[in-house]
Amino acid sequence: MDQKTLRRFEAHCIQEEAPQCKASCPLHVDARELCRLLSTGKINEAWAILCRTLPLPGILARICDAPCKGACLRAQKGGSIELAALERFCAENATRTPALRPLPSRGKRAAVIGAGLPGLSAAWNLARKGISVELYCTKKDDGLKVFSLADTIVSAELEKLSTLGVRFHEGESPSLEHAESLLDDVDAVFADPSVLPAELLHISLPDPLTLACDRERLFAAPADMATGSPALLAALGHKAALSIERALQNAALGFGREKEAPYTSRLYTNIENETELAPVPIPAAGYAQDQAQQEAARCFQCECMECVNNCAYLKEFGGYPKVYARQIYNNASIVKGTRQANTMINSCMLCDLCTELCPEDFPMAELCLGARRELVNNEVMPQSAHDFALRDMAFANSDACSYAEHAPGETQSEWAYFPGCQLSASSPDSILKSYAFLREQLDGGVGLLLHCCGAPADWAGETALFQESSAALRLHWEKMGRPKLIVACPSCLETLGSALPEAECISLWSVLNAHVAALAPARPEQPLCLHDPCTARYDAGLQQEVRDLLHKIGVTSTEPRLTGVTTECCGFGGLLADANPLLAATVSQRRAAALDNDGVTYCAMCRDLFAKAGKASFHMLDLIFPESETPVSRPAPSDSERRENRVRLKEQLLEELWNRSAAPRPAYQSVAVKLTPEAESLMASRRILLTDIQKALHAVKESKKSLRNVKTGHSLTRFRPTNVTYWVEYEEQDNGAFLVHRVWSHRMNILGADA
C-alpha cells in the first residue's frame, strides 16, 4: 500500500472529525473535551482547554454567546448544552491558569489599529507567535465596555497582553493616513473594523478568506464584519493574525483554511437510543459546581464508532478503521522485524458490515484482503494463519471428496447441484435428500458437482491458489457440459461470481420455492429467528427467496436487530477461526445471543457455529427434509467428523446412485483409536484431526519407534507429514487399539530428526 492508497482509506473514516460543536464554533473550542473534564470535576483542566483556544480567555469565556448551541446534537434530546454558562463557571472557579508561553521572537513587527475584540484578538495571537505588536487605540479598554465586565477582570486580561509584549499606544485616532504611515514602520498592519473598517481605507473590499487588501501588508475587514457574536469578532482577529503570520513567512495566505470558519462536520453520531434530558436551569449567579458537572454530563461525547460498536473484531483491537489503516500501512513497510498488525489483518471477517454501517462506507474488508494479498505476494504471510483452512480446502477438492458426474443414467446435464464443501461436511444426509428431490422435479438432467468454491483461498489472500482451484472447478463444469449450477451455499454463490463468472448460478432456495408443493417440511411449534449469512448481505433476491420459502412451508420467523443488508457474521467469514480462534468464539456467541428464538439460517457454517455456541439452530434443509416431524437441532460436528462426512457422502453416492465402488481408504485409517476427554478437548482447541493421530500411530506400527514413560506406561511419538509436527501420548491396548491421552503440535522442524 502506498501513501496515496492510505490517504484514500483514511478519508473514509470520520471518527477523528471534529464534533459539531467544535466545528460550528468560530474559534473551534473543544467543547466535547471541556464537558468531559467538567463532568468529572476537573475544573482547572477544563479551564486550560479554554485558555489554549480563546484569546483573552478571562474576558471571552464570560461573554461568549455560544454560537455552537445551534449545532449541538443534544438539542434533539432535551436541549443543547449550556456551554456559555459552563465557560463562565470555568472562568470564575478555576484556581490555576496555564502560564503564557509565547514563542521566541521572530524579529518581526506588526501594528494593530483599534482595541475592539478583533484588534485585541489579533494582538493576542500575534504576540503568542513571537511577533512584536504595537497596538494603537483611543483607549485600550474602550472596545470592551459594551460587555459590562468588572474593571478588575478587564484590567487583568489586558495586563496579560502586556506580559506577552504587546505595547499599547493610547490617544491615537484611527485613520487612513495613520495606517499608511505605520506600513512604512512595521512589517504588517491590521485595521480593526470596529474602529477603522475597510470602507474608510479607500481600498477594494478585502479577501474574505484572508483579509488581505490590494495594498500589500495591509489587512482589514468591512464594517459589516465588526458586529455580532463576540466569538465571531474574536475569530476575525485570529484570521487576521494567521494571515499576517503567513505573509511574514512568504507563505500562501489561503492554503488549507477551508475549515477556519464555522463549518458542518462530517462526524456522525447515532443518538437514537439516547434519553431525553433537559438542561440544568442556570441561576442568576451562574452554576454551582454540582450543577456545572450535571450539565456537562449531559454531553453525548459525540463520536462515530458506529462500526466498532457493532463489530466484535473492530472492538477487539482497541482502535477504529483510520487507526487500523495506518497500522496496516506501517505493517507493510517493515523490511525485517515483527509485523505487529498481522493478527489484526487476518482477523477481519471480510463481511462488509462496517462498510454498510459507516456513513462514509469505509471498506475494511477491501483494506484487510488487500493487506493479506500483499503479505502473501511478499512471502511474509505467517504460515500458521490460514494453514488449516487451506489444507481443508485441498482435502475437499481431493479425490476422496470431490466428484463431478451426470445424474445416474443420464448422458448430459442441464443442471448441476453444487451443495458446497461445508454443507457436505455438516449434513451429508441433507445433500442426499435434496439431490434426490432435484432429480425428481427438474427436467433435463441434474448432475452433481462436489467441490470447494475456493473461498478459503480467496479469503486468505492466496490469489494463485484461488485461480488454481477455480481452474480445476472450471474443468469439472465444462466436462459436464457447462450446466446451470444450483447452489445451496451463499458463500459459494458469492465466490462463484469470481471463480466461475461465465456459469449461470441460481440458488437452491429459488428452485425449492418453485416446487414447494412437492415438499413435506417440518413445522416447528415456536417461531424461529432468521439469520442471514454475511455473504448474502448484498443479495436481496436470495434473502427474499428464503423468507418466501419459510412462509410457504408454514414457519413463523422473527429477525434480529441487525439483519438483511446489516446482518452480522457468524465468525466463520474471512477464516477468523484460523487466525484468531478466541475472537471467533466471541463473535459466534455474540451473534447467537442476538437471536431471540431458536435460529434458522441457510449457511451450514452459520448453523454449526451457533450450535457450537449453545444456540439451538436449524439449517433450512433440516426443516425442508426433516428426520422427523419435530426437527431437533443437531450438534456441531467436530473438525474430524466434518472430513469424515465428506468422504462418507461420496462413498454413499457412488455406491447407492452410480453403483460404483469407492476408492479404498488409506491404510492409516484402519488404526483403531480411542480418545480420553482430555485428548478430545485438546484436538478441538488445537485443530488436530483424528486422521493426523492415525497417521502418527500408523507410523509407530511401521517403525516401532516411540518413547516410553516407565512411570505412567504411556508412550510418546511424533510425526511430521507436512509442515506440522504432531505429538501423540498414548497406550497400546491388548486388542490393538490405541488409547490417546494427550496431543499437541508445532511448526518447528527438529534438526536431525526423521520426518
pLDDT in tens, 325-382: 999 999 988 766 678 899 999 999 999 999 999 999 999 999 999 999 999 999 999 8
Residues 499 and 533 occupy one common structural domain: no
Beta strands 403-405; 446-450: pairing state: antiparallel
8 Å CB contact between 458 and 498:
yes
Q: Mean of the pLDDT values across residues 498-505?
A: 97
- The three cell numbers of residue 84 are 456559555
Q: Which helix (H) or strand (E) holds 347?
A: helix 342-347
Q: Is the pLDDT of residue 501 over 60?
A: yes
Counting Cα atoms < 13 Å in the Cβ hemisphere of 259 gives 11
8 Å CB contact between 639 and 686:
no
Q: Mean of the pLDDT values across residues 560-570?
A: 98
In angstroms, how far is CA 142 from the centroid of its own chain? 54
8 Å CB contact between 446 and 437:
no
Long-range contacts of 607-616 (CB under 8 A, 24+ apart): 607/426, 608/426, 608/636, 608/637, 609/570, 609/571, 609/572, 609/636, 610/531, 610/570, 611/635, 611/636, 612/588, 612/636, 613/585, 613/588, 613/589, 614/589
- The three cell numbers of residue 621 are 434443509
Q: Mean of the pLDDT values across residues 47-53?
A: 97
The pLDDT, as a whole number, for residue 675 is 96
- E strands in 114-266: 132-137, 167-170, 188-191, 218-219
Among 467, 535, 534, which Cα is nearest to 501's? 467
- In whole angstroms, how far apart are CA 52 and each of 45, 97, 98, 189? 11, 10, 8, 25
Is 2 part of any domain? no
Q: For residue 676, give the CATH number of its domain.
A: 3.30.2310
Beta strands 673-675; 707-708: pairing state: unpaired
Residues 89, 367: Cα–Cα separation, whole Å? 46
The pLDDT, as a whole number, for residue 337 is 64
Q: Is the pLDDT of residue 633 over 90?
A: no
pLDDT band at residue 722 using 50, 70 and 90 as cut-offs: confident
Residues 158, 606: Cα–Cα separation, whole Å? 69
Q: Which region among 427-441, 487-501, 673-687, 738-752 has the lowest average model confidence (pLDDT)?
A: 738-752
Query: What is the residue whose three cell numbers read 412462509?
Result: 551
The pLDDT, as a whole number, for residue 755 is 46
Residues 329, 325: Cα–Cα separation, whole Å? 6
CB atoms within 10 A of CB 314: 23
Is 543 part of any domain? yes
Q: For residue 428, give the CATH number of its domain.
A: 1.20.1050
- How high is the mean pLDDT of the chain? 95
Q: For residue 126, give the CATH number of its domain.
A: 3.50.50.60
Residues 462 and 479 occupy one common structural domain: yes
Residues 294 and 340 occupy one common structural domain: no
Q: Which residues pair with 218 in a beta bridge?
A: 189
Residues 92 and 130 occupy one common structural domain: no
Q: Which helix (H) or strand (E) holds 417?
A: strand 415-418
Residues 23, 268: Cα–Cα separation, whole Å? 13
Is 6 part of any domain? no
Residues 124, 129: Cα–Cα separation, whole Å? 9
| pLDDT tens digit sequence for 406-432 | 999 999 999 999 999 999 999 999 999
Q: Mean of the pLDDT values across residues 448-467?
A: 98
Residues 141 and 237 occupy one common structural domain: yes
Residues 405 and 489 occupy one common structural domain: yes
Q: Which residues pair with 109 in a beta bridge?
A: 132
In terms of average pLDDT, the best of 98-102, 601-605, 629-633, 747-751 is: 601-605
The residue ranking higher by pLDDT, 706 or 82, is 82
- The three cell numbers of residue 635 are 450438534
Query: Count of domains in the chain?
Result: 6
Is 263 part of any domain? no
Residue type, 550: L
pLDDT band at residue 93 using 50, 70 and 90 as cut-offs: very high
8 Å CB contact between 110 and 104:
no
The pLDDT, as a whole number, for residue 228 is 85
Q: Is the pLDDT of residue 737 over 50?
A: yes
- In whole angstroms, how far apart are CA 119 and each of 191, 236, 249, 461, 477? 7, 9, 21, 60, 80
Q: What is the dihedral of CA 260, 265, 271, 276, to 10 degrees?
A: 30
Residues 393 and 509 occupy one common structural domain: yes
pLDDT band at residue 753 using 50, 70 and 90 as cut-offs: low
With vertex at residue 93, the alpha carbon angle to CA 91 and CA 98, rounded to the nearest 5 degrees, is 60
Is 310 part of any domain? yes
Is 258 part of any domain? no
Residues 144 and 221 occupy one common structural domain: yes
Q: Which residues pair with 487 in a beta bridge?
A: 418, 507
Q: Is the pLDDT of residue 754 over 60?
A: no
Q: Mean of the pLDDT values across residues 34-40?
A: 98
Residues 537 and 504 occupy one common structural domain: no
Is 278 part of any domain? no
Is 12 part of any domain? no
The pLDDT, as a whole number, for residue 126 is 98
Residues 75 and 115 occupy one common structural domain: no
Q: Which helix (H) or strand (E) holds 81?
A: none
Please state, for a pLDDT cut of 90, what percent of the chain lies above it.
91
Residues 69 and 122 occupy one common structural domain: no
- The three cell numbers of residue 204 are 477594494
Residue 402 neighbours by CB under 8 Å, 6+ apart: 396, 450, 451, 476, 650
Residues 512 and 530 occupy one common structural domain: no
Domain that holds residue 339: 305-378
| pLDDT tens digit sequence for 258-311 | 999 999 999 999 999 999 999 999 999 999 999 999 999 999 999 999 999 999
Q: Which residues pair with 745 in a beta bridge?
A: 726
